[in-house]
Amino acid sequence: MTQSTSRFLADYKPAFYTVHSIKLTVELDDTQTQVTNEMSVSRQGEHNEPLVLDGEQQTLLSITLNNNKLSPEQYTLSENNVTLNTNEDSFTLTIVTQIDPENNTSLEGLFKSGNAFCTQCEAEGFRRISYYFDRPDVMSVFTTKIIADKTLYPYLLSNGNKIEEGALDNNKHFVTWHDPFPKPCYLFALVAGDFDLLADTFTTCSNRKVALEIFVDKGNLHKAEHAMASLKKSMQWDEETFGLEYDLDIYMIVAVDFFNMGAMENKGLNVFNSKYVLADKNCATDSDYFNIEAVIAHEYFHNWTGNRVTCRDWFQLSLKEGLTVFRDQQFSADMHSSAVTRIQNVRVLRSQQFAEDAGPMSHPIRPEKVLEMNNFYTLTVYEKGAEVIRMLHTLLGKDNFRLGMDLYFKRFDGMAVTCDDFINAMSDASGKSLTQFKRWYSQSGTPTISVSEHFDPEQATYSLTLLQRSPVTKVQVAPDALHIPIKIELITDSNEAKNVQEFMVELTEESQVFTFSGFELKPTIALLADFSAPVKTDFEQTDEELFTIITSAKNSFCRWDAGQKLLMSYLKSLTLMPDFQIPTQLLTCFTDILASDEDPAFIAEQLILPSFDEAADMIDEVNPIAIVSAIETLTLFIAQGLEQPLLDKLHYCKTILQNNELTEAEITSNKALKNICLHYLAPLEQHTLLVEQQFDESDNMTDSLAALSCSAKYNLAIFTEQMQKFESQWQDTALVMDKYFSLSASLVSEDIYRQLNNLTEHHLFSLKNPNRARSLIGAFAMNNPKYFHHSSGQGYEFLADKIAALNTINPQVASRLITPLIQFNSFANPHKALMKEQLVRLQNLPNLSNDLKEKLDASLAI
Ligand code: TRP
Ligand code: ZN
């Protein structure tokens, strides 16, 4: 493996050469694929710089410049590039190389997923296919000819439009594709295989008919229907919301089982992890359905935010990802409950992004220094990046935001641009100064807002003092004040009825006082309506005040958040003092919540306790085992205190669900609430029968999985038997077997380490399949905190062993799975020392990938 050095945003220089067009001819073979790459190149500006093309892990066969085949003395070949000199200003360069897809287990570049060939080029995978300027600001028109055996590979796909096809000798055939839109090579894709094809059409707002094609493994045709419906909804939504129409005549999606991430937005030919395409009621849960729709939308929305306007360099990744995540979140909010969608976005942010931003790999949404680009497809770039766009939307308002988007596309269509370019368009279109706002792109860490109140009855004024602080780090010695939109509600009592006033204040100074007049009585404040900024708050509110917000705030996010704040304060107390007496008012509050006529899905969210990760993020020097116990204690307190209301609600939801005239939304909401009730009741011995019953009677994956996860979480006696049934029913369905491995790894039992070892020996387990690897290893490290953090250190050791094996098989997957270990510094000893020991062990691996090296160096340097 090549050890390279970090690159810096500050060192950006435009390319010395550009490629106007590129013609690729790919003759597919399992181990000896030949790639012929004919580029028309021209020098940019006047200079004598050599021509340096990125390329790795391939065999160079020949280089021809304007019909002259170069001899090896005429170029310099290194492990990751080829360098040559020429006096020509415009010339044709033809490079022939050979690659080995079958043995490419990293799944970057050209690889095999089952029997199909497919590619993944983002971020820097094209250099494993051919020598090229592998950077997003070199944009070219691609023509791709694919040659392969026609029996094994009846479908040969690439970007754009099919322009030619025909038969060749030796049972081979070819197809040629032409993509008229110039693009960076990270958007190139090629797929060859035998699939079932679900075909449909979409008529755009300007009345053009677009062919929609989804390719799935044979036998899975019906499982692509939800993805197709989601695609059509996405196309419709983008026209209605942003006036954005699809541009090619065909949009293809291919689902593959071997894929490092969720999906990829290659122009006109998306490649998806099959997990985000395939679904039917028997094999997919309601949240699988939701996620498929969201990922389909995300990749579709990239056609404008990412492809038509792309990134100048990889430091600008959030330009396309933050914006596209914001767009997919808005889409999901429009398709479903906006309150529940927002709550779920915030949970991800608080439980994972905040920890990342407080850990050794903390970086601004626009990183400044990168060793391995794949390490920066992070929750910070994606989710915090989306929050930054959301703040712009809040500050500018919906209409000005739309004007800003329109101007952005008008100015930059067809170009590779920066985050600053985006903000400038927003500023110019709205007339709002965003100079200070830009600091969100260069500062890392979650800001904390400290709040103090002052009520003056004489003047009838209520004032709020807000103080912002961003964390100080080695590279961020003196963080500046950020521009933060803070939406609030002021709730007052006026004879029985509650009166609620809504405001938005813009915090721009380090400390600022905001005064509100006309308050005869001290109002209760609900802070951060809709979670208007990705910040933490340092604000003591009494239980009484929190109860007022839970019952009276207009903003549903505030009602939910006040409940979470209350629960979190109990969890914190229980963590520090295990015999802390939980106030019984919590039971009254939960009884009211259970009895309310809110959307059942929202009630379900209100009943869910803050997660292990959220709690860990709130406490310094965390004893993980104490957090696990605190969560167990609080769960049991609620379960015992509300046994009857929970039981009643469970039965009530079941009755509702018998009605066969419900909408999809009503079905999922009621199932969600029923299953939360089941989770509370499951640890009570007298109710384990409910879990058995639900598993036996279930006719859908949501209910089956809810029952199994209760059995795993409470180590119920029936777990083994249920899992055996589940396995024999689903052994041939890969995506369901992933759930099987996840459930197995979440079993809260001392026997877990022995079971994990058996599971890694299971004939269906393989580290080469990322979904499978994550389903076992990731689920154990993320969902089984009690045994992952066991003070014997066995959990850490198990994870490190698997990461060591993955280091050579698939560095990207290894690097993602290491996340829980590098956060060792936030835990108390002995956990901290034990985690660190494993990191040191990994750092000494021979052939350490750049992916792992970057994270290990960062975490062990502290
Ligand atoms: N651009 C993709 C997305 O957000 C991300 C992605 C897919 C990716 N596969 C990848 C990034 C492989 C790095 C490596 O939709
Ligand atoms: Zn994306």
Give pLDDT, residue 836.
98
- Whether residue 433 sits in one domain with residue 351: yes
Give pLDDT, residue 473.
87
Q: Give the distance (Å) from ligand 1 centre to CA of residue 418.
A: 19
Q: Give the distance (Å) from ligand 1 centre to CA of residue 253.
A: 15
Residue among 119, 126, 260, 321 to mutate when testing ligand 1 (max atoms within 8 A of CB):
260
- Whether residue 666 sits in one domain with residue 522: no
- Whether residue 504 sits in one domain with residue 586: no
Give pLDDT, residue 3.
58
- 597 close to 555: Cβ distance less than 8 angstroms: no
Last residue of a domain, one of 194, 224, 249: 194
Residue among 107, 113, 120 to mutate when testing ligand 1 (max atoms within 8 A of CB):
120
Q: Give the distance (Å) from ligand 1 centre to CA of residue 362.
A: 20
Q: Give the distance (Å) from ligand 1 centre to CA of residue 261.
A: 6
Q: How confident is the model at residue 814 (pLDDT cuts 50, 70, 90)?
A: very high
Q: Which residues line ligand 1 (CB under 6 A)?
A: 120, 122-123, 260-261, 263-265, 298-299, 321, 374, 377
Does residue 2 carry a pLDDT above 60?
A: no
Last residue of a domain, one of 652, 681, 710: 681
Q: Which atom number of ligand 1 is nearest to the Cα of residue 382?
A: 4
- 737 lies in some domain: no
- Whether residue 330 sits in one domain with residue 455: yes
Residue with token string 């899905």: 601
- 455 lies in some domain: yes
CATH of the domain at 40: 2.60.40.1730
Does residue 419 carry a pLDDT above 90?
A: yes
- 620 close to 610: Cβ distance less than 8 angstroms: no
Q: Nearest-CA neighbor of 139 among 91, 183, 95, 106? A: 183
- 242 lies in some domain: no
Q: Whose CA is nearest to atom 14 of ligand 1?
A: 122
Q: Whose CA is nearest to atom 15 of ligand 1?
A: 264
- Mean pLDDT over 285-302 rounds to 99
Q: pLDDT above 70 covers what percent of the chain? A: 100
- Specify the number of domains making up the chain: 3
Give pLDDT, residue 620.
87
Q: How confident is the model at residue 4 (pLDDT cuts 50, 70, 90)?
A: confident
Q: pLDDT above 90 covers what percent of the chain? A: 98
- Whether residue 628 sits in one domain with residue 523: no
User: Cα–Cα distance between 52 and 75 in angstroms, integer?
Assistant: 10
61: containing domain? 1-194
Q: Nearest-CA neighbor of 438 among 480, 493, 494, 476? A: 480
Task: Note the ligand closest to the C-alpha atom of 108.
Answer: 1
Q: Whose CA is nearest to atom 1 of ligand 1?
A: 264
Give pLDDT, residue 494.
77
Give pLDDT, residue 427.
99
* Axis-axis angle for helices 600-607, 585-595 (nearest 10): 160
Give pLDDT, residue 496.
75
- 274 lies in some domain: no
**Gyration radius from the chain CA atoms:** 28
- 821 lies in some domain: no
- Whether residue 146 sits in one domain with residue 16: yes
CATH of the domain at 447: 1.10.390.10
Give pLDDT, residue 572.
97
User: Cα–Cα distance between 535 and 334 in angstroms, integer?
Assistant: 25
Last residue of a domain, one of 194, 215, 249: 194
Does residue 832 carry a pLDDT above 60?
A: yes
Summarised one tens digit per residue, pLDDT across range 500-524 is 999 999 999 999 999 999 999 999 9
- 570 lies in some domain: yes
User: Cα–Cα distance between 196 and 221 in angstroms, integer?
Assistant: 6
CA distances to 340, 502, 523, 750, 833 from 552, rounded to whole Å, are 18, 13, 12, 45, 46
Whole-number average pLDDT of the chain: 97
- Whether residue 592 sits in one domain with residue 456: no
List residues with catalytic annotation. Answer: 299
Q: Give the distance (Å) from ligand 1 centre to CA of residue 195.
A: 23
Pairing of β 172-183 and β 140-149: antiparallel
pTM (2 d.p.): 0.99
- Whether residue 92 sits in one domain with residue 12: yes
